[in-house]
Amino acid sequence: MEACTPFNSGKTMKCIPILSACLIYGCSFLSLAQTTNVILSGRDDTHSLSQFTLQGDQIKVRNDGTFDHPLFLDVPSFVNLEKKGQNFELFLQPGDSLHIFFNGEGVRFEGKGAETNTFLVHHKKLAQDNSKYLDTKNALVFTQTPEVFTTTIDSLENLETALFQEFFGNNTSVNEHFVQRIKTDITFRNRRYRLLYPQNYHRHHEYKTLAPVKSTYLEDLMQGSFDDPEFTTSPHFMRCVNFYLDLLATGPYKMQHPDHAPLERINARYDAIINLNAEKAVQDALIKEHFNQHIWTYRVEALASAYDRAKSDVKDSAVFNEIKSFMDMGHNRRSDADTILLYRTTSEAKLYAHIFFPEDQGTLRPAHLFFHGGGWAMGMPEWSYGACKEAAEEGRVGIAFDYRLRSIHGATIQDAVVDALTAVAWIRENAGQLGIDPNKILVEGFSAGGHLALATAMIDQTSFGIPEQYSARPDAIILGSTPYDVTHRDVYDIDYDAKKISPLFLVKEGLPPILAFHGESDTMVKFTEFEAFWSKMEETSNTFQYRSFPNARHFYSGGAPGDRAVREKMRNDFLSQNGF
């Protein structure tokens, strides 16, 4: 353990004449038409009076539900319209006058540009239906022979192509950029499904049988995908290629289910981008996306090596400046913490505690420790900053911890457990300096972080070489969507018994009070796993409060509207009952 060392810091399309539009939307419509090359207007009949945003700009909805918005476009463009959590991708061209009507059945377009945007709505719905089919029939589809699997995906792709033909046929007046983009979306959406075949085949065969395909299956699928910079404007191209790069970064595990592979991937992924036979503009775009994607999921240090390389690898200065802005943001967001202290040094990493103090520091305060989720592979302390701030506002010292991760450090789950045990012991060792009551330590975690939080109370710290002078056992625990059995999650190249770090097999008397939440439709951590743990806890005299939520998934989406309020009340009651 370290001393407190500071961190160096419907298909109806008609044109509406301008006069009619003036009668519907008010004569401000005419003045807009005189000053802009695109007019977006319409009416919301859902009576929600919710505000719209277009490319981040707010569109005000009047009391009668109408709205209008001027837009300046130099070239035909895809733009994003967001309404109350719903996203609509629109295609607009200079000179368009598009009218949008929202009602209880969905959205309808009229005016110039209506046909293309009606198609986009229908296409999105079809793509969603195809995706849902693959989700619900995953085991059936992905355990088929390669030939049958290919036929299945071909049929889904053909449905999308047929829809495009239904709308536009041989209409040569359709904008060329629009046509290219739709074709790209269709190709790479379905190409990503094809990339999923080996890992899902492996998973559904209990990680024991590889898919019966060539070792170059992935590379063969992506051949010729990196020659056209226009592809990079498609979000489905970027999603497909991002997944492909993630697979390449797993090296020998690329044909297996990669999530559980304990190896460093961030720099390996950057290597994969550089080694692609890609047109330079495509490569620069993929390097930028590498930073854009990972700055939100990993601590900024994980990207430092790639950033140094990007300084010479990226030739477009505008692209590099965007990369620099990502890195600057990664550093600057840490200013929210009151202090960042080193708590552990290993051969792989320096690990830090990100600390938020209450305003009144005159007396010893309870500590509220947070371990982030991310499958022991991704995540960062910054994910817990909001929770830490809330804890500090309520009088507790909020602390979010780093721990070693698969994708950054090539770590195993056991490595992360050792870090968590060390973190709690470090808090007690430095409690006086930090203004913390060493007998009031609450540990909270979500998903993988919940596993670590629970492990600190169930595992003998001395078995991992952590001196018993300062106990790693917390005084209370809060869990969300927690994995209780890691024997099927730590499956590659481990030299230890995963049961010894699985709470399901470690239930005993004398555990601290625990509050746990779980969604009954969680597909990432099955509800049956929670039920098994709960059943074992019921056989003890431990204080174990819990609540499950029908239809709620891993992040509690899909549950009832009042579920959040239930969790908040139970959480507050738990804190109060246990002196926090």
Q: Tokens representing 374?
A: 């991310």
- 107 and 148 belong to one structural domain: no
Task: Examine residue 123 and state whether it is found in any structural domain, yes or no.
Answer: no
- 183 and 293 belong to one structural domain: yes
Contact partners, residue 167, CB within 8 Å, separation at least 6: 115, 118, 119, 122
pLDDT tens digit sequence for 465-501: 999 999 999 999 999 999 999 998 866 778 899 999 9
Task: Examine residue 128 and state whether it is found in any structural domain, yes or no.
Answer: no
Please tell me the distance from the alpha carbon of residue 300 to that of residue 17, in angstroms, as a whole number.
54
Using the 3D structure, point to which of 331, 361, 396 is the last residue of a domain: 331
DSSP track, 504-526:
GG---SSPPPEEEEEETT-TTTT
Listed in order, strand segments (DSSP E) in 292-416 are 339-345, 350-356, 365-371, 397-401
pLDDT tens digit sequence for 58-113: 888 888 888 888 888 888 999 998 887 678 899 999 988 899 998 877 889 999 88
pLDDT tens digit sequence for 183-224: 999 999 999 999 999 999 998 998 889 999 999 999 999 999
Task: Examine residue 158 and state whether it is found in any structural domain, yes or no.
Answer: yes
Report whether pLDDT(549) > 60. Answer: yes
Contact 298, 380 (CB under 8 A): yes
Contact 443, 424 (CB under 8 A): yes
Task: Characterize 162-173 residue by residue with b for buried, 16 or more Cβ atoms within 10 angstroms of its Cβ, and e for exposed.
Answer: ebbeebbeeeee
Q: Tokens representing 114?
A: 């209506």
Please tell me the distance from the alpha carbon of residue 54 to that of residue 515, in angstroms, as a whole number.
42
Element (H, E) at 140: helix 138-142
Report whether pLDDT(32) > 50. Answer: no
Task: Quote the domain boundaries for residue 177.
Answer: 137-331
Task: Examine residue 3 and state whether it is found in any structural domain, yes or no.
Answer: no
Rounded to the nearest 10°, the torsion over CA 404, 407, 413, 417 is 10
The total of structural domains in the chain comes to 3
Long-range contacts of 93-99 (CB under 8 A, 24+ apart): 93/38, 93/175, 94/37, 94/38, 95/37, 95/38, 96/38, 96/39, 97/16, 97/18, 97/21, 97/33, 97/38, 97/39, 97/41, 98/38, 98/39, 98/40, 98/41, 99/16, 99/21, 99/41, 99/42
- 381 and 325 belong to one structural domain: no
- 217 and 265 belong to one structural domain: yes
Q: What length does the chain have?
A: 580
- 418 and 269 belong to one structural domain: no
Task: Examine residue 310 and state whether it is found in any structural domain, yes or no.
Answer: yes
Report the pLDDT averaged over residues 508-532. 96
Task: Examine residue 242 and state whether it is found in any structural domain, yes or no.
Answer: yes
Q: What percent of the chain has pLDDT over 90?
A: 77
Q: What is the CATH number of the domain that holds 64?
A: 2.60.40
Q: Tokens representing 564?
A: 């959040």
Would you place residue 21 in the very low, low, confident or very high pLDDT band (cuts 50, 70, 90)?
very low
pLDDT tens digit sequence for 259-275: 777 788 999 999 999 99
- 259 and 348 belong to one structural domain: no
- 402 and 327 belong to one structural domain: no
* Residue found by looking up tokens 């300084």 in the block: 311
Using the 3D structure, point to which of 61, 82, 117 is the last residue of a domain: 117
Contact 112, 128 (CB under 8 A): no
- 426 and 364 belong to one structural domain: yes
- 367 and 327 belong to one structural domain: no
pLDDT tens digit sequence for 243-255: 999 999 999 899 9
Q: Name the 3-class secondary structure at 83.
A: strand
At residue 140, φ and ψ (nearest 5 deg) are: -70, -50
- 418 and 560 belong to one structural domain: yes
Q: What is the CATH number of the domain that holds 543?
A: 3.40.50.1820
Widest Cα–Cα separation across the chain: 83
User: Which residues sit opposite 99 in a β-bridge?
Assistant: 41, 110
Mean pLDDT of all residues belonging to the chain: 90
Query: By C-alpha distance, which of 409, 376, 378 is closest to 490?
Result: 376
Rounded to the nearest 10°, the torsion over CA 386, 389, 391, 396 is 150
Please tell me the distance from the alpha carbon of residue 316 to that of residue 242, in angstroms, as a whole number.
21
At residue 190, φ and ψ (nearest 5 deg) are: -80, -25
Rounded to the nearest 10°, the torsion over CA 142, 144, 148, 153 is -10
Task: Examine residue 273 and state whether it is found in any structural domain, yes or no.
Answer: yes
Q: Tokens representing 371?
A: 């371990």
Please give the C-alpha separations between residue 243 and each of 188, 200, 231, 338, 470, in angstroms, as whole numbers. Answer: 11, 14, 15, 37, 43
Task: Examine residue 370 and state whether it is found in any structural domain, yes or no.
Answer: yes
Please tell me the distance from the alpha carbon of residue 261 to that of residue 410, in angstroms, as a whole number.
8
Task: Characterize 282-321 residue by residue with b for buried, 16 or more Cβ atoms within 10 angstroms of its Cβ, and e for exposed.
Answer: bbbbbbbbbbebbbebbbbebbeebbeebeebbeeeebbe
What's residue 87's pLDDT? 84
- 486 and 517 belong to one structural domain: yes
Contact 418, 464 (CB under 8 A): yes
Report whether pLDDT(4) > 80. Answer: no
- 383 and 463 belong to one structural domain: yes
What's residue 49's pLDDT? 56
What's residue 31's pLDDT? 41
Q: Tokens representing 87?
A: 């996203």
Please tell me the distance from the alpha carbon of residue 333 to that of residue 353, in angstroms, as a whole number.
15
